[in-house]
Amino acid sequence: MSSHAGARAEAMAAWTLALPAMILKWLLLIGPALAVILLSFTDWTFGAPEVNWAGTDNYVAMLSDRVFWTSLRNTAIYVGVSVPVTVGLGLGVALLIESGTSGRSIYRAIYFMPVASTLLAMALVWDFMFHPSVGPINQMLRMVGLPTTDWLKNPDTALLSLAAIGVWQNLGLAMVLFLAGIKGIPQELYEALSVDGAESGWERFWRVTWPMLGPALVFVVAITAIRSFQVFDTVAVITKGGPNKATEVLLYTMYQEGFAFLRSAYAAALTVVFLALTVTMTLLQTWLLDRRAHYA
């Protein structure tokens, strides 16, 4: 009896300790997610006194909504451009900083500064940078005789311009994560490679650094993809989805439907689809990269 009583007391103590975290998890994560899912099956609009069950009407309407498909395509293009560029540049900058002999802390701080900056304020700076007449980007292009354009008002370049801002913002985070991965590589591996006669930096990278960075690469790609999928600030401040829906992305569409048009239930359905796509994309990328990663 005493052993059963002890086990019961231990279980009660465990539940008591875990209860605050479980309550917070329900209040902050699971509860709101379930509320959004339930709301997506209603016809409620913001301020309406009644909520009526609508079934899958919002999801059916979404399939025939041209703005939804446009925003989904634009989001996919944004993620497809910003993620590989951010990961590639982040790895390159990390390797350059790690190979340097001085000023590493200064360079790390400079590259990480955009991550800690307020993007809403920096968006105004980038709006000036891309200005068609006085912007530094077009000024430099004119100096070397290259053609210029109104980057944020041209439908062919507006989304790519926002992707460039996204790369600028996320580059520092990717760099820091790769630096942590490089620091964790045992130096004995490089010494063993030198004994085998491989002295060039290229061989050291491909035979040791790149294989051992597998876990860091999985994490960097997942984090960068999630952050890119959640692009909103620059669209809302700089382009507002234009020109002609060329920069309309999923989060901005959700915001417009929920807070501008007050179609709360439809916005909830968009949120459910957005969350499903984000989780699916993250799990798929992690699974594909995790199969190639080497864990020490």
What pLDDT is stored for residue 268 in this prediction?
95
Instruction: Indicate whether 236 belongs to any domain.
Output: yes
pLDDT score, position 22: 82
Q: How far apart are the first and last CA of the chain?
A: 46
Which tens digits make up the pLDDT trace of 85-139?
999 999 999 998 888 667 777 878 888 888 877 777 788 889 999 999 899 999 9
Residues 6+ apart with CB under 8 A from 3: none
What's the CA angle centered on 198, arms 195 and 202, to 5 degrees? 145
- So what's the pLDDT on residue 193? 77
Note whether residue 43 is domain-resident: no
User: Is residue 52 in a domain?
Assistant: no
pLDDT, one tens digit per residue, over 189-237 is: 878 877 777 667 788 888 888 888 988 898 899 899 999 999 999 999 9
Q: What is the pTM of this model?
A: 0.87
Residues 6+ apart with CB under 8 A from 255: 232, 236, 267
Helix/strand/coil for 95: helix
Cβ–Cβ contacts within 10 Å for residue 282, how many?
16
Tokens describing residue 184: 């964790």
The CATH number for 237's domain is 1.10.3720.10
pLDDT score for 252? 96
Evaluate whether 229 touches 281 at the Cβ level (below 8 Å).
yes
Q: Which residues of 145-159 are buried (b: 16+ CB within 10 A; e: fewer)?
A: eeeebbbbbeeebbb
DSSP letter (8 states) at residue 207? I
266 against 27, higher pLDDT:
266
Sort residue 91 into left (φ over 0), alpha (ψ -120 to 50) or beta. alpha
Q: Which helix (H) or strand (E) holds 102?
A: none
Q: State the pLDDT confidence band at 1, using cuts at 50, 70 and 90.
A: very low
For the chain, what is the domain count? 1
pLDDT at 3: 65
**Paired tokens of 98:** 């790690």
What percent of the chain clears pLDDT 70, i.e. is strictly above it?
94
Q: Are 108 and 97 in contact (CB under 8 A)?
A: yes
Report yes or no on 6 lying in a domain: no
CA distances in angstroms from 195 to 105, 111, 190, listed in the order given: 31, 35, 9
CA distances to 45, 218, 279 from 285, rounded to whole Å, are 36, 8, 10
Closest by CA position to 138, among listed 148, 146, 128, 126? 148
Instruction: Tell me if residue 151 falls in helix, strand or coil.
Output: coil
Query: Does some domain include residue 277?
Result: yes
pLDDT of amino acid 59: 96
Q: Which domain holds residue 99?
A: 58-290
Whole-angstrom Cα Rg for the chain: 24
CB of 180 closer than 8 Å to CB of 108: no
SS3 198: coil
pLDDT tens-digit profile of 6-42?
778 888 888 888 888 888 877 777 888 888 999 999 9
Q: Is a pLDDT exceeding 70 seen at residue 290?
A: no
Q: Which DSSP helix (H) or strand (E) runs through 261?
A: none
Structure tokens at 105: 């802390």
Does 33 map to a domain? no
Name the residue with tokens 């955009």: 114
Looking from the CA of 69 toward its CB, the CA atoms found within 13 Å total: 7
The per-residue pLDDT for 81 is: 96
DSSP 3-state assignment of 88?
Answer: helix
